[in-house]
């Protein structure tokens, strides 16, 4: 029984150490896929954008420094 618990402990520690790395790898692959799709002009997914404000005045950037 002690051997089984040792294996289980090693498996749990390995999972805890590998989980963040595997999550980051999956995230990087997803971002790379979206960049390739954007470069090819395909739109595999619609991006959510903020609603546009309609204004008759043009926006001038602020030059004030504090």
Other Cβ atoms less than 10 A from the Cβ of 64: the count is: 4
Q: Where are the beta strands (DSSP E) in the chain?
A: none
The structure's pTM equals 0.50
Cα 39-42-46 angle, rounded to 5 deg? 110
The answer to whether the CB of 34 falls within 8 A of the CB of 44 is yes
φ, ψ of residue 28 in degrees (nearest 5):
-60, -40
Q: Each residue of 41-59: pLDDT tens digit? A: 876 555 566 666 666 666 6
Instruction: Tell me the residue length of the chain.
Output: 66
Per-residue pLDDT tens for 22-43?
999 999 999 999 999 999 987 6
């Amino acid at each position: 029984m002690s051997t089984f618990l040792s294996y289980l402990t090693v498996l749990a520690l390995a999972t805890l150490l590998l989980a963040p790395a595997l999550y980051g790898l999956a995230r990087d692959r997803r971002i790379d896929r979206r960049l390739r799709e954007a470069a090819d002009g395909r739109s595999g997914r619609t991006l959510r954008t903020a609603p546009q404000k309609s204004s008759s005045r043009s926006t001038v950037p602020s030059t004030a420094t504090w």
